């Protein structure tokens, strides 16, 4: 766990606590040493976080304290984007509208999050492909070589330009430009037999292709919600 994540967790624990928390309690929860907690508390206090107390007695936080803005890395922003999209599963219209507002704000500072789309139903774990590596290839506009089996069981070797990743109820699907078909295609990840990230890139061409795909989806009847 990074220091910034640990500081966030300490603040959350102190905000939720009904009484003073000992450094040892926080250390056990975060799986770090008590000395690390002391240093983290000192860092937070130096940043004007209203934490009061001392070693051996425990620490408390002033009620009503709001968290300062947090800096998110790319993976954290993408995780939040997918989580916001999945709020559609709750059936709570107000919460869904709030999630939409939050997603638009997130997209302002992390535009790449619009490339991750989640359906309103669950998805089982995918074992056929490394999704983190696939997302990195999408961000880097890096080509992928794969051996793919279609719905009839026929296998072909493809080089694709990955543009977006869709999470559906039974699988995930990558939207890509296929060099073999010279067209936009959808590839179910559970039909990928083998794959590797190529050394070749399609730098600067991904956004236009993604917009082209988005245009084709406007009249699509698939019930998948996106922001």
User: In angstroms, rounded to a whole number, what is the distance separating the alpha carbons of residues 103 and 84?
Assistant: 7
Taking only the tens place, the pLDDT of each residue in 173-207 is 999 999 999 999 999 998 999 999 999 999 999 99
pLDDT for res 92? 66
Q: Would you say residue 27 lies in a domain?
A: yes
Q: Would you say residue 92 lies in a domain?
A: no
Taking only the tens place, the pLDDT of each residue in 85-105 is 887 766 667 777 888 888 877
Q: Which domain holds residue 53?
A: 3-61
* First-last CA distance in the chain: 30
Q: Would you say residue 141 lies in a domain?
A: yes
CATH number assigned to the domain comprising residue 175: 2.30.30
The pLDDT mean for the chain works out to: 84
pLDDT for res 82? 85
Q: Would you say residue 226 lies in a domain?
A: no
Q: Would you say residue 67 lies in a domain?
A: no
Count the domains in the chain: 2
Q: Which two tokens stand for residue 50?
A: 């209203």
Reply yes or no on whether the pLDDT at 216 is more than 70.
Answer: yes
Q: Is the pLDDT higher at 131 or at 147?
A: 147
User: In angstroms, rounded to a whole number, what is the distance separating the alpha carbons of residues 221 and 217?
Assistant: 8
């Amino acid at each position: 766990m990074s220091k910034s994540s640990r500081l966030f967790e300490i603040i959350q624990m102190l905000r939720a606590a009904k009484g003073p928390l000992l450094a040892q309690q926080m250390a056990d929860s975060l799986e770090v040493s008590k000395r690390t907690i002391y240093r983290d508390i000192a860092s937070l206090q130096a940043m004007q976080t209203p934490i009061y107390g001392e070693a051996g007695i425990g620490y408390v936080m002033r009620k009503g304290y709001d968290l300062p803005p947090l800096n998110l890395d790319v993976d954290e922003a993408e995780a939040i984007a997918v989580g916001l999209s999945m709020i559609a599963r709750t059936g709570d219209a107000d919460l869904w509208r709030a999630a939409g507002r939050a997603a638009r704000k997130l997209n302002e500072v992390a535009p790449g999050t619009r490339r991750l789309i989640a359906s309103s139903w669950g998805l089982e774990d995918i074992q056929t492909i490394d999704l983190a590596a696939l997302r990195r290839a999408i961000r880097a506009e890096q080509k992928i070589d794969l051996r793919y089996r279609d719905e009839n069981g026929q296998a072909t070797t493809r080089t694709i330009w990955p543009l977006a990743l869709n999470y559906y109820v039974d699988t995930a699907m990558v939207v890509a430009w296929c060099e073999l078909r010279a067209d936009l295609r959808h590839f179910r990840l559970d039909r990928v037999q083998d794959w590797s990230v190529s050394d070749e890139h399609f730098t600067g061409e991904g956004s236009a292709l993604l917009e082209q795909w988005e245009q084709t989806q406007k009249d699509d009847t698939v019930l998948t919600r996106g922001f």
